[in-house]
Amino acid sequence: MVERNSLLLVTLLLGFFGNASTAEETAVGKALYAQSCAACHGVKLEGGKTQSLIDSIWQFGQKRSYVFRNIKYGIADFAMPAYEVALTDKQIDQVIDYILAMEKEIGTPKPPLPQALHTLDYQVKVEVVADGLDVPWAIDFLDKRRALVTERGGQLRTVVDGKLLPQPVSGTPEVVAEGQGGLMDVAVDPEYAENGWIYLAYSHALPKREGKGRPLTMTRLVRGHIRENAWVDQEVLYEAAPEFYGSTRHHYGCRIVFDPEGYLYFSVGERGIGRHAQDLSRPTGKVHRIHRDGSIPKGNPFVGVEAALPTIFTYGNRNPQGLAVHPQTGRVWESEHGPMGGDELNLLSAGRNYGWPEVSFGRNYNGNIISELSDRAGIDAPALYWKPSIAVCGIDFVRGDRFPKWRNQLLVGALKYEEVRLLDIRGDRVIHQEIILKNAGRVRDVACGPDGAVYVVLNGPGTVLRLTPADPDGVFSSL
């Protein structure tokens, strides 16, 4: 766009074309692009001062709504200005229509998955260990040979020696696979070799009320065993009271981790009703702590507090889709979806308030301000926030000897930005972050396996990747 816009990163994305624009609208979009975008992205969209818009590599999300918001509100981290004053909403749509049409007409295919990555510390080999999955959501490991992967539609799949078994586990609980709901997390008991317990978190429905519309849903937590590829011995560990079920189909949370003392932590999103995250009488917008049999620890921060739910460990959490326990300190870290901007990484402490929606670094999706405050007394500030939102999701710490330079650093997955980031954490501070994987697909989960390799779960293209050092010593010889 004209000189003041010379660093524009329009981040226009393939997909969600909607209705074809008329020839007149396309011509208007072409003229607006020439006036406002060509100086940076090239007259033929081939790139210049900034990236190409026709190479099918989209840095900041694939949905049309992401494109629109990036243009209108800008990307401060990349010096992209906001165009909410310079362009009307209709003009932004016309620009998007033109570029998406050109991408469709002359664009190049998206590159295949990489076979190698170059990071600051390692050259990394990339392998596909499972493919053709239907919207995979989470991975955990039974041992060094076997892993379990959830598919959001309700299937629990098994990977053995790097091969996906053709048949899913039978008899798993019925889920509501609508919106963001479905079968979400899977977690293997720390003493699995002795007790065989496996834990599942999913969106559960109450029986449909006669004449009352679609079923009401809520996050539910169960455990069971797998015998002869069948789910058996199911026990319900957490099920909210019926009055807390809702008709929305998003913000379920649904992550599970265990700390060194054997406590089980699980997250529940605020289901799209922000004020409920501050209400201690409601389970939504919280991280909860229970024993592995579902009983409530006596030391939980709100045990005995009038009207408060005794399972609550923290509150004011919008949609926590990542939980991880630090290998040395045993403390729980949480990643949390913000709205438009304001994704958070939090170090959790018992009984603390993490602010949503009373403080936030983000805006509503319609551009309205959620809160004028980004901090306030009595509310714990995030250790790190991302603005704009990267759509942060699963997280895990690196353990073992395979990546010694990365040991105890935090892996962070991002859906919208299609990234895996590596965060160097010292105490309660993040001192550095590096992008180690980019544009392979929407990253729903990341995990460090018992073999020390890094596993990456991609919603699209329904794939699980395995990352290992590419050379015997695991480091560049030049370092």
Peptide bond into 388 cis (omega under 30): yes
3-state secondary structure of 448: strand
Please give the Cα distance from 85 to 87 (Å, whole number): 6
Q: What six digits make up the tokens of 41?
A: 């992205």
Catalytic choice (41, 204, 251, 337) = 251
Instruction: Provide the 8-state DSSP code for 4.
Output: G
Please give the Cα distance from 136 to 154 (Å, whole number): 10
Please give the Cα distance from 259 to 246 (Å, whole number): 30
Cα within 13 Å of Cα(448), Cβ side:
23
Q: 426, 384 in Cβ contact below 8 A?
A: no
Judged on CB neighbours under 10 Å (0-12, 13-18, 19+), 42 is middle
Please give the Cα distance from 179 to 186 (Å, whole number): 19
In one letter, which amino acid is 477? S
Please give the Cα distance from 253 to 186 (Å, whole number): 13
Q: 292, 262 in Cβ contact below 8 A?
A: yes
Q: Catalytic annotation on 251?
A: yes
DSSP code per residue over 183-241: EEEEEE-TTHHHH--EEEEEEEEPPPPTTS-SPPEEEEEEEEEEETTEEEEEEEEEE--
Angle at which helices 89-106 and 23-36 pack, to 10 degrees? 100
In which residue are the tokens 């074809």 written? Answer: 20
277: left (phi over 0), alpha (psi -120 to 50) or beta: alpha
- Residues, the chain: 479
Measured CA distances, 41 to 12, 37, 240, 399 (Å): 11, 6, 51, 42
Active site residues: 251
